[in-house]
Every structure is written in C-alpha cells, then in structure tokens.
Structure 1
C-alpha cells in the first residue's frame, strides 16, 4: 500500500470516530488536548528564557537575581505539573475512547450474520487471525496513533516557536571570504535546519526496512498464537491419537518463523539505533560548539549562549521527529494496515454477498409455515457442484431425515442459515419462526454451567426447577451440582455429555424448527435413539430436518431426502 493510499484510508478510519454519535465529547477532548499541547509549548519557551536569566544572574554573581529565578522555577514547576497531568488524562481518554469505538465497530461487523464464519472462505488475504487484529492491532493503531500525532503536533509548535527565538539570538554573523565579507542572518537556524534535515533524510533511508520486517514479525507472532489456541481447543483429539509429536514439530516450525522474522527486525533496528545513538551524542554538543565562539569573543552573554544552545536543541529535536519515531511509526503503520485489511476483507465479503449473481443461493422469507427448496443447487467454493435440482417442501411439524453425503448435508443446513451462499436456486423460509440449529458439537461458552446451557438466552428465562428436570430427562443428573461452577466446559465435559447438553438446550428453547447435523454421533445407537425419542415426545409439533446415517434414526422421521 502506497503512502498516499495509506494516509487516505487511515484518515477515513479516524474520521469516522470524530464524526460518531459521541462526536461532541470527542471534539471537546481533542480541543482540550490541542490547548494543553500549546500550553506545554509555552512552558518550554518560558523555561529557555528562565535558563537565560539564571545564567546571566550567575555570570553577574547577582544573589537577588538568583533567588528571583528560584521563585520563578517554583511557578514553572507547578504549571508544568498541572499541564502534564491534565494532558495525560485527556490523551488517555481519547486513546481508550477511540480504541473502544473501533473495537466495537470492527467486532460488530465481524460477529454479524455469520460473517466471522464466511470470511474464512475468502480466497484473498487480510482476514487471517482476526482475533489478533481486533485485540492487539486496534490497540496499537489507536493508542500509538494519537501519541504519534500529538508528538508531531507538539514538534511543529516547538519548531515554529524556537526558530523565531533562535533567529533573534543568532544576530548577524559576517563571513569573511578574503575578497568579500558576507553577512549571514539567523545562522543558527540554518545550521539547525541543515543538521536536522540531513540527519532525518539519512535516518529515514536507513530505517525503511523496519516497517516491512515489523509487519512480518507481527504476522508470524499471530500465526504462532493462533496455532497454540487451536491446539488447546483440540487437546482431547490430539491426546487420543497421540499427535503431540506432530504438534511440537509444528510449533517449532512456527516459532522458527518468529525467530527468523525477529532477526530480520533486529538487523533493521540495529541500523537505526547505530545512527540515532550517534545522532543523540552530537545533538548535545553541536549547539554549544556552534554558539561558543560568539561567547568567547564577548558578543553574547552566558545566558544567551545557553538559551541559544537550548533553542538549537529544541529545533533540531523537532526536525528529528521522523528519525526519533521511526520504529514506533513502523509498528503503528503495520498494525493500521492489518486493521484496514480486515475491514477491507469484510467489505469484500459484503459486496460479494449482496452483488446480484446467478451462482448464489437466494433466501426468501415468506408467510407460509413451510421450508421450501426450489431447484436448489449447492456448490463448493471452486464451483464444483455437490448437489443439484433439489426441489422439496417441508411442512410445519414434519420430520425429514437427510442421508447420503453428510458433508453436502452440512452445506445444506448452512445455506438455510444464510452461511453458505455458493450455489444456485432458492430457499423459502417461514418468516418470524425461530430455527434451532444443532451442530455436531454445541458451543459452550466459558462461565457457569447454567449460563452455558441456557446460551444464547439468559438464565433468567428458565426456572431452576425446569433446568434441573431437563438435565435429569437427558441423563445428566450428575451435572446438577455443578450448575453454578465456572469452567471451560468444552474442555471439561466429554463430547457425549456435550451433545446431551445440546438436547437440554433445544428442550428449553422449544423451537418450531429443529435442524440437526450429526448432533448425536458420539453416542451409541441406543443413546442416539433415546435422544431422538425424547425430542419427539417433548416437542411433538416441531418440524425436524436431521442429517444422520444412523439406521435407527429413520423410525423417528416420516420420510427422507438422499443427497
């Protein structure tokens, strides 16, 4: 991404926050930050003037002047503390506010209508490790972004203020070339500009590789974290097939990628540090050395010398902002680009879904209490057809078994849910009728077992007596004592108990439509038949669409569709 394109996209990203619903408060905080920054600049100017007066008093051996400067120092000290404290508070409020807004904005788009699932099927880059982009990259993009732009604004104020001071202090220096005498006005300003501009240009050139290596390292770190999380989530499956050796090799390979990226970043960073360390040493000595001859010749006082040196340092420091912040800018830009890439991927997904395309499944809500497939064709992402010419109608209360290819059946349920648009044809859904999907493994969020069972509803929607009775019905009476215990239930409970909890959930919700995808495959045939019988008895009016190749499942369904 070019610098101009990056800047335009970033300004759009930032501008949305400053034009959000809470824009009045946000703009007040921004104006307060600007005002406090200006106050800090004035304090910096006053300190140089105070320094000049102090050294003049020392040079004149004036005790009254010395004590006067001590009194002024106390006032400057109090003003600086107040301005710095207020500035920090306002800046951090803006930082956390922008981060909260952007996190909420991106999360709402990602966790909406199955987009978090659909985006994984995009062939383009920019959507890997969305958890890292939301949690870490948004933090860096917002917090470091405000810090960088504040420091840049402060540097510009310092530059404008101290160039004027330095120009006045420089006076006129006559350069004797032998055959002509040339007066030079503001020579300290020109020296500072040439010195800082040359250093900035050289430093920027040296630091160019850091942005790329920083982006690579952040990607490698995110891949490593994602792999660890995935292994933790699949720990039982790994343990059962003794896959630890393979996982360790995989972790080692991913971490080796981190090491390689780390070394690349270190190599790029070393060049910057070598330059900036030498530059910082010179910045301390150069202003004094440049102004010292005028003091030795007696044309300026000691106070003017020190004020000139401090003003020179301020100007050089302001002009050196690109060099001093190169590493932080590289990290910030890499994070902003990762956030923008995720947003762009979500935009691309949204455009693909809403774009009229004959090779997309159309979902239509109707006032009929039926689920209808009209010449439905289900395809893979590469266009290969999995099933075609599906035309059928499932009436309210009807129980239909889907057999054959369970993977195609899975795509059919995803198409009904609006998660699989790839294919052709039309699906008519009953309007305003809740469809309950039972996946092979129900999602059990971390928290109390009661909350996990009632998810996505609130625990207050179901009485404790009903919940206890339902657990006993599905054969999970042993879990009643653990209802208020907090744990990671997807790791604690065996798959069989999790699938039985899926039955508890459907019995509590009492939906009119139940769509089940091999929801009892970990149970033995008798256990599966027991769960199917229980659902049919407790919810006799509910329509069921069940994917299963278990022979005993047929007795609980009125007909079947073979894929």
Structure 2
C-alpha cells in the first residue's frame, strides 16, 4: 500500500474530475448547498448552547417568563434543525449517488472496451482480481464514504472553530498562584480540551492502525468468496453432470475459512479500538463537568455558564476526536479506494503495454484490400513460449480456409486477429471497414428476452420478426419461436446444442463478410455440424470463412487448409 499523500493524489486524479464533468453546474450547486447547510447546522449547534445557558439561568432564577421564552425559542430551533437536517441528507445523497454513477461509468468504460476486460486477466502487474466486486462494491464505498468523511471533517473543523471561541470566552482568566508569582492563564478550558482530545486522538490512531490492513484483507476475501459462488452458479450444469458438489462445497469452505480468519483479525484489531473509545466516551461525559464545576462552586460563573462551558467543551473535544471516531470509516474507504485504483492501474499498465512500440508484440494494421494477410506472424504464450512461428499467408475475400493442427494455437490466432492477443511478433493486415464475426464454442446469450439475446449486439428493431422466425426455422429451432419474448437466463435454460444453433441464427442475421468459427458446432455431432456448414455455405456464399474444427467432414466445405 502506497503512502497516504500519493494515494490521495491518485484517487483525486481518478475521481476528482467529477466536479468538472458535463453536469458540473448542478454538481457544484449541490456541493455549495451542502457547505451552506453544514454552516447552518453549526449555527444551530451554537444557538443551542446559548439557549441552554439561558434556560439554566432562568431555572436558577426561578423565572417562569424566562422559561416560557426559552420554550418558544426551542420550537423555532426544533423546526430549523429538522429542515436543515432533511435538506442536508438529500443533498449529500444526491452527490454520493451522482459521484458513484460517474465513477462507475468511468471505470467500466476503461474495463469494458476493446477486449481489455479479457486481456487484463493475463497480465501480472497491479492487483486486479474480482473486477466485478471492485466496480460494484468498492466504487460505492470509495465515493459514498469519501463524501461522508469529508463532510464530517468539514463539520468538525467548523465545530472546532466556533466552540473554541465560545470556550475561550467562557474560560475567562484563571490565576495560578505559585507563592512567589501569580501566573494568569487565559482560556484554560481550551488548553485542557486540546491536550485531552489530542492525546486521545494520537493514542487512538496508533491503536487503530492494524484495522486498515485487516479491513483490506477482509474485503479481498469477501470478494473471492462471492466470485467462487458466482462461478459455481454459472457452471452449475457442468458441476451437476459430473457430481462435483462435494468438491465445490469443500472449495466454498476453504474460501469462507479465509473470511473467518480475516474477520477474526479485524475483530482483534477492532477490539482494542472499542476498548479505548468506550472508555473515552465514558470519561468525556464526566470530565467537562469536573473541570468546570470548581468555578461554579466558587460562584464565579452561573449555572447557565457552567452548562454552556460543558457543552462547548464536549463539542470541541468531539471535533478534535474526529480521527479516532472515524478510524473504521477511513480504513474501509482506504481499502476500497485502493482496490479501485489497483484495477485502474492494471488497465493503465495493460494500455501502456499494448500501445508501446515493442518488437515482441503483434502489429495489427488496416489495409484497403479485401484480404487478411499474415506476415512473419509468431504467436507466443505469456511465458514467452512460441505456439506458432513464421506464419505467412493471405486469405482473400470469399475464401474458405480450415485451420488445422493445434486447436489451442488456432484459438490464439483468432484472438490475435480480434486484437485480444498481442503477445508475439509479426504483422496482421485486416480488411478495412469489414465486420469480422467470431463464433466461439458457446455464443454469449445475455439475460433478457430470447429475441434480444439472439439479436445481440444489435437491436431487435434491426431485424423484422418474420426474418427472425424464418432464420430460427432454417437452423432447426422452430420450437423456440414461441419463446422469443420470454425472459430467462438462456445460457442456463437452453442446452448447448440449441445455443450453438442460435449462434448460426445470429450469424445469418448479421450477414458478415468475414467469419471465424472456433469449434462452433462441437455439440451437434457429425450430421448436425455438416447441416450447419451447408446452411452457412448456401446463405453466405460470398463470405470468407476460417474454421477450427475436429470434424473430418468439415474439410469438404473449405478450399484449403493452414496447419498450425
């Protein structure tokens, strides 16, 4: 974890531009309103102490008129306090959700673009595990807690300034008689409050340091546990088919034991803080009265002045105790903000690695010719081991080529063509302004209506209902026509065979000129794969086709082969 100053600067570079975004006028007005409302709250707190002094003076004087006057003032203070508190809550939450929305879009935009969400999983620089948890949970904590902590800090600074002045005035002058000299002490209650709160803050901060590290570890283990559960849910069918439940439960237990260990570590760190803060809170109730009581007993101040001094002392000590009171919140904010920064740093490192001129990177270039050209192409693994070397070939528009040999290397070739695998050397020239359509072993079917899942990433309005229904029938999926407007998790609801046929439906709807199929029909059997290949050949006769397949009959649909 980096130094506090450098960490704060990095966080503000990432999140600070929110106040300069498109809605900056509304955001700045809301920020100004929050500042004004905070000042109003401080003013009300000051008025309450003055009201308290007047009330106790009226009680000491046994004045009924004075008491009734204070009751009337209390109603006004009551109404003003409720109004300011309600407005303050709404403005603060407006800023919190707005900042979270803006930062979520910014981080998601950096993550979900040009395949960076896939590529970042292959680099070993900054910590970037569980990006979903970092975006969903840590961005929320980083923004909501930041505004909450900054507001409370500003509030306490105003509190400190306001009540230091009041307490200084109420303290008067106390003369310390040493026998041979009399020393006047001005504002003695202020000095006592400063020493009292500063000593408690330093001690409390030192005691609470382990909590920051413990909180960071706990949030990481919680994210790992969530990820394990999500992964099991996404692969529930495969787990059920091979009866892997016992293994999964053991894995969940291991992940949760990590949470238990982190939880106990956090509890241990928190225990010392609570022991300290509970004792501090008890002492804070009695200490101001004990400090101010002698002057009341000696008759130098009234009962009202005594109570006002006590309240001012407590407010001042409370303001000075902000580091202790907010230690847990700061620890949680720091840990979450650090996790967001780590993800962004990983994406920055990835971007630098890709754009930096490097002889050990595959170069992608657009060409004005309708060809796909490989020049001295070498594909490597992340550890530097070469998968394929000296690939020199040219695939023309409409040509059908079978990618034979190692399917793993063929998959890396497709990823290199898509710009997802820059690791290697050589050059790939792509046909300019041509849509490259990739068909993986299982097409992605987002949750929603089946119609939306099939048309993805295009909009449903781009294809007529009749065209969609006819294409489903061509692909042997006529039974799904009635389910087009149903909402479901189609990756779980449909068997793999139907999902692969839906991949063909999507292909025929999109009508691309360049098709890259990677084991796209391995669940259909020999006859099913041949049927789909015939359909593609008939409906898209002019499209270039590159295919990775283990089906021997697939070769009849291709003009030549490239062996990797």
TM-score between both structures, scaled by the size of structure 2? 0.99
Deviations 1:328-380 (CA, angstroms, capped at 9, x unpaired):
11001100000111111111010000000001001101111111111111000
Asked if the contact 1:400/1:558 (under 8 Å) is kept, the reply is yes
Q: Distance in 2 between the 1:433 and 1:14 partners?
A: 37
How far 1:11 sits from its partner (Å)?
2.3
Instruction: Tell me the equivalent position of 1:374.
Output: 375
Of 406-415 and 180-189, more deviation after overlay is shown by 180-189
Count of residue correspondences: 563
Instruction: Tell me the equivalent position of 1:520.
Output: 521
Deviations 1:182-219 (CA, angstroms, capped at 9, x unpaired):
22111100110000000000100100000000000000
Instruction: Tell me the equivalent position of 1:357.
Output: 358
Instruction: Tell me the equivalent position of 2:175.
Output: 174
* Structure 2 counterparts to residues 462-541 of structure 1, below 5 A: 462-541=463-542
- SS class of match (1:365): strand
How far 1:125 sits from its partner (Å)?
3.6
How far 1:437 sits from its partner (Å)?
0.4
Q: Distance in 2 between the 1:497 and 1:435 partners?
A: 23
Segments of 5+ residues of structure 1 without an aligned counterpart are none
How far 1:176 sits from its partner (Å)?
2.3
Does residue 276 of the first structure (1) align with residue 277 of the second (2)?
Answer: yes
Asked if the contact 1:36/1:87 (under 8 Å) is kept, the reply is yes
- SS class of match (1:312): helix
Deviations 1:416-468 (CA, angstroms, capped at 9, x unpaired):
00000000111111111111100011000001111111111111111111111
How far 1:225 sits from its partner (Å)?
0.5
Instruction: Tell me the equivalent position of 1:187.
Output: 188
Instruction: Tell me the equivalent position of 1:117.
Output: 118
Instruction: Tell me the equivalent position of 1:456.
Output: 457
Q: Distance in 2 between the 1:468 and 1:56 partners?
A: 86
Q: Distance in 2 between the 1:391 and 1:251 partners?
A: 48
Q: Distance in 1 between the 2:213 and 2:382 partners?
A: 32
Deviations 1:473-500 (CA, angstroms, capped at 9, x unpaired):
1111111111111110101111111101
How far 1:177 sits from its partner (Å)?
2.5
Q: Distance in 1 between the 2:125 and 2:429 partners?
A: 31
Instruction: Tell me the equivalent position of 1:237.
Output: 238
Instruction: Tell me the equivalent position of 1:73.
Output: 74
Deviations 1:93-137 (CA, angstroms, capped at 9, x unpaired):
111110000000000110000000000001124210000000000
How far 1:253 sits from its partner (Å)?
0.4
- SS class of match (1:549): coil
Segments of 5+ residues of structure 2 without an aligned counterpart are none
- SS class of match (1:51): helix
Q: Distance in 2 between the 1:257 and 1:94 partners?
A: 35
Asked if the contact 2:205/2:323 (under 8 Å) is kept, the reply is yes
Q: Distance in 2 between the 1:273 and 1:497 partners?
A: 58
Q: Distance in 1 between the 2:244 and 2:403 partners?
A: 33
Of 343-352 and 122-131, more deviation after overlay is shown by 122-131
TM-score between both structures, scaled by the size of structure 1? 0.99
Q: Distance in 2 between the 1:10 and 1:304 partners?
A: 46
Q: Distance in 1 between the 2:362 and 2:38 partners?
A: 56
How far 1:7 sits from its partner (Å)?
1.7
- SS class of match (2:337): helix
How far 1:289 sits from its partner (Å)?
0.8
Instruction: Tell me the equivalent position of 2:330.
Output: 329
Of 460-469 and 208-217, more deviation after overlay is shown by 460-469
How far 1:557 sits from its partner (Å)?
0.5
RMSD between superposed Cα atoms in Å: 0.8
Asked if the contact 1:404/1:549 (under 8 Å) is kept, the reply is no
Instruction: Tell me the equivalent position of 1:157.
Output: 158
Q: Distance in 2 between the 1:114 and 1:273 partners?
A: 47
Deviations 1:270-291 (CA, angstroms, capped at 9, x unpaired):
1101111111111111111110
Asked if the contact 2:126/2:345 (under 8 Å) is kept, the reply is no
Q: Distance in 1 between the 2:209 and 2:51 partners?
A: 40
Asked if the contact 2:125/2:349 (under 8 Å) is kept, the reply is no
Q: Distance in 2 between the 1:48 and 1:14 partners?
A: 39
Q: Distance in 2 between the 1:533 and 1:99 partners?
A: 50
Deviations 1:255-280 (CA, angstroms, capped at 9, x unpaired):
00000000000000111011111111
Of 127-136 and 27-36, more deviation after overlay is shown by 27-36
* Structure 2 counterparts to residues 396-475 of structure 1, below 5 A: 396-475=397-476
Asked if the contact 1:49/1:307 (under 8 Å) is kept, the reply is yes
How far 1:27 sits from its partner (Å)?
1.3
